[in-house]
A and B are shown apart, each in its own frame.
Chain A
Amino acid sequence: MTQHIGEDAELYALGALDPGEARAVDEHVRTCDACAARLGEAEAAVSAAIVPAEPSLSLDRRMRTALRAPLPWARIAPLLAASFVLGLLPFFAALPARHDTSQHDLAVAALVNSHFAHVPFAALSPDAPKAKLLYGRGVQSWRFIVAQTGRAYRVRGIVDGRETDFGTLQVNGASAELFVPQTRARVFELYDGSREVSRSEIPGR
């Protein structure tokens, strides 16, 4: 391991190192957790002084083009189908105008950049809402729960055999959704108060 970076952490965060010194810091923090943590704290202090500003929609479009892998129709088709079925299409149409940070934006980014599948929730109660679980491939990946309901059902899941609370569905008009960025949970349940009303399980591994 190279020498610890010491006070170069703060100088790096301030942008006060020359390029050679900055490269040495980059190299060192790849393998040194202690220096990485010190650098992270310095970066947090510098970023606190940044005045946020709104970029143009043109940058949003450039970033989407640059960061998204090519989308062959084989991948777009199920997304569009799911959009129509679940009433998500208006959100996609409205995306360029959205400027807030939200779980919905994360979900859209996950949907358009991943191979995914979906499975319906099975009703355990007559008043259960129609809902689906969309999930990224892989043992640990994102999950997106969408439901035709105006109620903020609580979402619970089972992670490594333990019941886990994922929060409540976020209601938007007559639909509701919850995005879980990364989890191993394969079973999800919707609760109305303490009553489980429906359940969904990702099939076999």
Chain B
Amino acid sequence: MDAPTSANTRSASDAQTRALEQAFAAHEAWAYEAAYVSYRRTLYGAAYGVLADAQLSEDCVHDVLVRLWQRSGEYRPARGRLEAFLAVCVRNEALSRRRRDNNRLRIARSAPPPAEADPFDDRYAGSLDVRDAVRGLSQPQQHTLQMAYFEGLTHEEIAKRLGEPVGTIKSRLSNALKSLRRTMGAKKGPA
């Protein structure tokens, strides 16, 4: 029998990921711990990118996973990658906590970066692909995305700050993210 090819190895890994996602959706206990073990660095990075504090970030990851375990039913394979779902859950919870904690963290983190700074520099962007994709956006899209992603502002706060209609900001953010996704997808090529 032939030795396994890299394609076989990749498909075996994809199959394991899909199986983990199905087990997580089915609320199997082992899948929750396996998901943590598999995605812990992404989840902690998602929290730390918002909270910039090790203990607060660990508390956030812990609380989100425990909440998902207790509630169940929030993830379905139709939603796509479990890792992305969990990362956004953790990041959104971290943003909520930061918004509540105006007195300490928001003051330190919410000021806009200097005008000359590249908003998607090495401190933030997950990969070169992301940075390249962001640079392909229009200036208004980059600016709005920066306020949502790094400053953690809601679309209403962004609209207020820029003095533009809420609907305009929503469309701009939506189009910016879709454009990013398309660009990164095109670079990766077919799965």
**Which chain A positions have C-beta within 8 A of B9?**
167
Contact yes or no, B33 A41, CB < 8 A: no
CA distance A39 to B74 in the complex (A): 13
User: Given contacts A13-B177, A181-B23, are A44 and B80 in contact (CB under 8 A)?
Assistant: yes
Whether a CB of chain A sits under 8 angstroms from the CB of B4 is yes
Whether a CB of chain A sits under 8 angstroms from the CB of B22 is yes
User: Number of B residues whose C-beta is below 8 Å from A?
Assistant: 80
CA distance A164 to B58 in the complex (A): 41
Contact yes or no, A106 B95, CB < 8 A: no
Contact yes or no, B20 A181, CB < 8 A: yes
Main SS class of interface, B: helix
Contact yes or no, B36 A63, CB < 8 A: yes
Contact yes or no, B66 A67, CB < 8 A: yes
Whether a CB of chain A sits under 8 angstroms from the CB of B126 is yes
B126 in complex: contacting residue of A43, A48, A64, CB < 8 Å: A48
CA distance A194 to B156 in the complex (A): 64
List the one stretch of A14-22, A85-93, A124-132 in contact with chain B.
A14-22
**Which chain B positions have C-beta within 8 A of A182?**
19, 22-23
Contact yes or no, A45 B181, CB < 8 A: yes
Contact yes or no, A46 B66, CB < 8 A: no
**Which chain A positions have C-beta within 8 A of B184?**
45, 48
Chain B 57-89, CB-CB to A under 8 Å as 1, else 0, gives 110011001100100011010111101110110
Contact yes or no, B33 A62, CB < 8 A: no
Chain A 53-86, CB-CB to B under 8 Å as 1, else 0, gives 1111011101110111100000000000000000
**Which chain A positions have C-beta within 8 A of B74?**
26, 30
Residue of chain B at shortest CB distance from A29: B79
Contact yes or no, A46 B58, CB < 8 A: no
Nearest 10 CB-CB pairings of A with B: A40-B80, A7-B174, A181-B19, A52-B41, A113-B30, A55-B44, A43-B84, A45-B181, A10-B174, A47-B87
Q: Which residues of A contact B (CB under 8 A)?
A: 6-19, 22, 26, 29-30, 33, 36-37, 39-56, 58-60, 62-64, 66-69, 101, 103, 105-106, 109-114, 136, 142, 154, 165-168, 179-183, 191, 193-194
Question: Could you give 10 example pairs across A and B, Cβ below 8 Å?
Answer: A12-B92, A15-B88, A45-B177, A45-B178, A49-B120, A50-B91, A55-B40, A55-B44, A67-B36, A106-B34
